[in-house]
Structure 1
Amino acid sequence: MKTQPSIPCPIGRAVGVLGERWTLLILRNANLGMTRFDAFRAELGIADNILANRLARLVEAGLLVRVPYRDGGRTRQEYRLTAAGADVLPVLRALAVWGQEHTEPYEPTEPMQVIHLLCGQATAPGDICGHCGQPIRRTEEAWLRPWRSDEPYPLAEPVRP
């Protein structure tokens, strides 16, 4: 992963990679399986030039990789999560908890939930299910965002080199 080597503080280096507007939301969506430019744009309402810039920076930093796909007669690019991008998950979970506790939505809504797919129950974000006590692997975690859907979104698996 390319970062600014002149910054000695790891928090400063992380903010250098993750701190731009839209970046964490793009990574949230990538962790939930979104891969295509048009889908990111539609979900986030972000301008094309800004989205292209953020995606390029995330590819350069090693959090996403470009993977070609065919769309009719055209070759286009998907943006797939890497292991480094998947490792942002605890940051996203922490932001979700903080946002739930310290901010208010514009309209009342049910809170986001982390669902342990093995037992089907909501649990606190973390490595162990608070309901069944079993470890929660990435492939066994889904996010229920009731303002978007009644169905939980399983987390995407990162691309393996």
Structure 2
Amino acid sequence: MSRRITWEDASCPIARAADVLAEPWTLLILRNATAGTTRFEDFRAQLGIADNVLTTRLAKLVDRGLLTKLPYRDGGRTRHEYRLTQAGSDALPVLHALGAWGDAHTSSENAYGPMNLVHKPCGALTRPGGRCDGCGQPLARDDLTWRGSWLSDGEIPLAEPVG
């Protein structure tokens, strides 16, 4: 399914961001990459996404500079991992804002629970933003984990960007 319109040259930064991030599956792929998923098979299994759609979205994320494609050997075959770039890593506040909005304004019988953000240095649950709700220290990406999410009952460290 191709889009009829592009906003890549729009004067509005929200429109340009939507041009990159607003396709179906894109934010979920970035969410899982942020949680450490790197391999095609794992994205497919975790998301339940069709191979052709996943192939297209991964290629677009690589083309737009949010993921990078790194080769690895699997037996006799060369395969690829998809790792966050700095641009992909910088989408973290968008993911946090969407998670907070979804917790506040949507519901589902299948909902796992709220998306908890943990400030590792003090262990407090916190909200996205500038400072930890528990200790008041500035929130840095390296000091955050996700807890009790759709992916795991434990804490999920956030993947570091490549490069």
Same-fold call, TM cutoff 0.5: yes
Secondary structure at 1:114 match in 2: strand
Percent identity between the aligned chains?
Answer: 58
| SS of 1:70 mapped into structure 2 | strand
Deviation per residue, 1:127-159 (Å, 9 max, x gap): 311101112221110011344322010111100
1:131 maps to which residue? Answer: 134
Corresponding letter in the other structure for 1:155: L
Aligned equivalent of 1:158: 161
Checking the alignment, whether the CA contact within 8 Å between 1:140 and 1:154 is kept in structure 2 is no
2:88 aligned with 1:85 = yes
Q: Deviation of residue 103 (structure 1)?
A: 0.2
TM-score, normalization by structure 1: 0.92
The size of the alignment, in residue pairs, is: 158
Q: 1:114 to 1:77 in 2, by over 3 A?
A: same
1 CA distance for matches of 2:111 and 2:66? Answer: 33
Measured after TM superposition, the shift of residue 17 of structure 1 is 0.7
Q: CA deviation at 1:106?
A: 2.2
Task: Report the AA paired with residue 111 of structure 1.
Answer: P
Q: For the Cα contact (< 8 Å) 2:69–2:82, is it kept in 1? A: yes
Contact 2:120 2:144 in 1 (8 A): yes
Cα-to-partner distance string for 1:101-120 (whole Å, 9 max, x where unaligned): 00002236431100111111
Structure 2: unaligned runs, 5 residues or longer: 1-5
Q: Is the 8 A contact 2:132 2:139 kept in 1?
A: yes
Task: Give the corresponding residue for 2:38.
Answer: 35
Alignment of 1:136-151 (within 5 A): 136-151=139-154
Instruction: Say if 2:111 is the partner of 1:76.
Output: no
CA separation of 1:147 and 1:56: change in aligned 2, threshold 3 A? closer
1:53 matched to 2:60? The reply is no
Aligned to 2:110: 107
Q: Distance in 1 between matches of 2:82 and 2:112?
A: 30
